[in-house]
Structure 1
Amino acid sequence: MQIKMQPMGPYQTNCYIATIEGKDFIIDPGVDALDWVLNNVTHPVAILNTHGHFDHVWSNAAVQKALNLPIYCPKDDAFMLANDPFSQGTPPSHPDVLIQGDEAVEIEGVKIKFRHFPGHTPGCSVIEIGNVWFSGDFLFQQSIGRWDFPNSSGEDMLKSLEKATKVQGDFTIYPGHGMSTTLKAEQKVIPFWIEQVRRTI
């Protein structure tokens, strides 16, 4: 797998292009991502959203229109793509495939697994391809996503963190913001964050 990454917009939200067997998967096309995407794909096949926050889906519609691609989005976050709940002026987009919970899909022969870790948002998910996690705003290097936004849930975040500690094997993590890390490294600090979340609920 070849992975390209570019931080987008004021929140420096990481947009990724994962190329597997010559097929390009565009993950979380954020603010003004279109030009970068167009300059870095040769055979694009799908747009994948980890969750519905505006800084991760801002360019969904523009990329979809330019490249005629389907959008895959967690079902529980689909309302954010159309309704702009943070009133940021996000261009509306409409998912073609709604992912329900932990679900695996196959896109042009490539297996992609969505691991549902709600808390940051109701549909917040990790996109797993091979031994790589695109973790959106669930896990960062030495940190986790916020659980105090509208539609966030500390109770769900707690369950998701506990779920993540039980995942076997190691994965390279490419988060929605910041630098890459590994699941093994983050499993060592997740207990700290479990305690932080528990104090707030």
Structure 2
Amino acid sequence: MEIKKQPMGDYQTNCYIITINGKDIIIDPGVGAIPWVKQNVTNPIAILNTHGHFDHVWSNKELRDELNVKIYCPKDDNFMLEKDPYAFGMTPSFADVLVQPDEEFDFDGIKVKFHHFPGHTPGCSAIEIEDNLFSGDFIFNNSIGRCDFPFSNPEDMKKSIKKILKWDKNFRIYPGHGTHTSLFSEKESLKTWLNYL
């Protein structure tokens, strides 16, 4: 398994390409992601969105059209792809697959699970591939996603943090912004954040 990462746009949103057995999965193609993705994939099979914020899905439509692959987005965030609610001028896109909470997929032998962790957005999810968790804007290195945006919910974030604190596997975490970390490294920070929500 190979993981490529490139921060994109003004918000330095991490776009990931995961390559397993010659197949490429694209996670969160943000602003300006198209050239980098096209240079770094040979056999793309899917575009996965951790959530619907514009800086994570900006390049969805063009990549879908050029690469002829399906977009998978948590169902509760799909409206952000279609409606551009923050009015940044994003080209609307449409998910081919509306992902249900905690739904699992098998892409030609590559097992993928969308773990539903709402709070930052209604559909916010962390995507599990092997021993890695692509956490979007749920967990960062020593931080969490903001809960003061439109459609955010601090109470949901509390529940999501409590949910992942029960996990006993030390996943490597690749967040939507910043550097990678691990679940066990973040547990104390997550407990602290519960006091501020």
Q: Secondary structure at the match of 2:134?
A: strand
Q: Write out the 4+ residue segments of structure 1 that deviate beyond 2 Å after TM superposition.
A: none
SS at match of 2:91: coil
* Separation in 2, partners of 1:32, 1:183: 30
1:6 maps to what in 2? 6
Local SS of the residue matching 1:10:
coil
Question: Which residue of the partner structure matches residue 77 of structure 1?
Answer: 77
1:179 is aligned to: 179
**Corresponding residue SS for 1:120:** coil
Q: Please say if 1:118 is aligned against 2:118.
A: yes
Q: Is 2:53 the partner of 1:53?
A: yes
- CA deviation profile, 1:130-184 (whole Å, cap 9, x unmatched): 1000000000000000000000001100100100100121110000000000001
SS at match of 2:55: helix
Q: Partners of 2:27 and 2:88 in 1: how far apart?
A: 20
Counterparts of 1:91 and 1:183, CA distance in 2: 34
For 2:26 and 2:59, locate their aligned partners in 1 and report how far apart those are by CA, in whole Å. Answer: 11
Shift of 1:22: 1.1
Unaligned runs of 5+ in 2: none
- The offset of 1:195, in angstroms, is 0.6
Aligned to 1:36: 36
Q: SS of the counterpart of 2:184?
A: helix
Q: State how 1:127-166 maps to structure 2 within 5 Å.
A: 127-166=127-166
RMSD: 0.6
Identity over the aligned pairs, expressed in percent?
60
